Structure 1
Amino acid sequence: MLPLASPTAMPFTTAHFVLAIDGLTSVSFSKCSGLAGEVSVEEYQEGGENRFAHRFPSRAAFPNLVLNQGAGPLYELWDWFYEFHVTGMVRPRDGTVVLMSTVDGELAPVRVWAFTRGWPVKLTGPDLDAQSSAVAIEAIEIAHHGLVLKKVL
């Protein structure tokens, strides 16, 4: 069946989003990747059935979240990463990545991705170049146990 009309809702812009992690100050970021998931497929070749192989869902997997931001005055993400270097352990934390967009002239959350048991696996400081006036960008990479798109109220 073909649609009678195209949807009138405009897509959200991705100009502003916020990382909120339990127990840490929320931080705005300029770039985020890894908001994805996939399910592995296991094939079973049944004897006598030569037309196809049976395919079954096997295991869910989620890539690490990678977030970039302009280096600012907050140290909490660095401290969270450094926990492992001091104690040999890092406390996993739940968190959200919130896409903010203009709705009725106001900046409001429009999409919320929640992750569970996240922990920092990589922190990258900015590239420093005295001949450039570019923004100093740092990145954090977070491994986690799953990602869910939550409903925005």
Structure 2
Amino acid sequence: MTIEYPYLAASFRLQIDGITMIDFTECTGLAGDIGVEEYLEGGENRFPHRFPSRASMPNLVLKRGATADRGLWDWYAEYARTGQMRPRDGEVLLLAGVDGVLTPVRVWAFRRGWPVKITGPDLNAMSAAVAIESVEIAHHGLSLVPLSV
């Protein structure tokens, strides 16, 4: 019997078609749920029948220390400049140390994503905190990608 230990969630990498890879320290939104529709059948008073309805997935929200990289800001600003947003496919990679090398151990792929919100760092000269920026990405579906062993 082999014991499976969880991966330490130390680093995430965002890869988006046409934009450089970007490392993040926090990622939320790797989730999904399927709604439930209830049907009350006449004569059946013990319980309602329950059926699956629409699936939904929240936006991805990724946070990192601000850097000189402008890729995500330029992608977001594309809509303000042109009035059009080109959706892009991408992946969120969970990186963990495997045999001393930082390696993708889980990969979530999203389809037709676009940035719906981008937030620059809160600036305070009285604080020595890291300047954190975030991006929120809407998408048309998320899947867990099988990795070759």
1:102 deviates by: 1.0
Q: Deviations over 1:8-58 (max 9, x none)?
A: 121100001100001100100010000000001111111111111111111
Aligned-pair Cα RMSD in Å: 0.9
The match for 1:136 is 131
Distance 2:16 2:94 in 1: 15
In the alignment, which of 7, 12, 25 is matched to residue 12 of structure 1? 7
Q: Tell me, what secondary structure is at the counterpart of 1:26?
A: strand
The match for 1:79 is 74
The match for 2:39 is 44
In the alignment, which of 92, 96, 117 is matched to residue 91 of structure 2? 96
Distance 2:5 2:98 in 1: 11
Q: Deviations over 1:49-78 (max 9, x none)?
A: 111111111101000000001100110100
Would you identify which runs of 4 or more consecutive aligned residues in structure 1 move more than 2 Å?
Answer: none
Distance 1:149 1:29 in 2: 19
Q: Which amino acid aligns with 1:121?
A: V
Kindly tell me the number of residue pairs found equivalent between the two proteins: 148
> Identity of aligned pairs, percent?
61
Q: Which amino acid aligns with 1:116?
A: R
1:132 deviates by: 1.0
The match for 2:147 is 152
1:105 deviates by: 2.1
Is 1:116 aligned to residue 111 of structure 2? yes
Q: Tell me, what secondary structure is at the counterpart of 1:49?
A: coil
1:104 deviates by: 2.0
Distance 2:105 2:34 in 1: 26
Distance 2:133 2:99 in 1: 33
Question: How do 1:25-36 residues align onto structure 2 when only pairs under 5 Å count?
Answer: 25-36=20-31
Distance 2:89 2:46 in 1: 45
Distance 2:106 2:146 in 1: 7
Distance 2:48 2:4 in 1: 41
Distance 2:135 2:36 in 1: 30
Distance 1:129 1:54 in 2: 55
TM-score normalised to structure 1 length: 0.94
Q: Deviations over 1:79-124 (max 9, x none)?
A: 0000111111110001000000011222111000000110000000
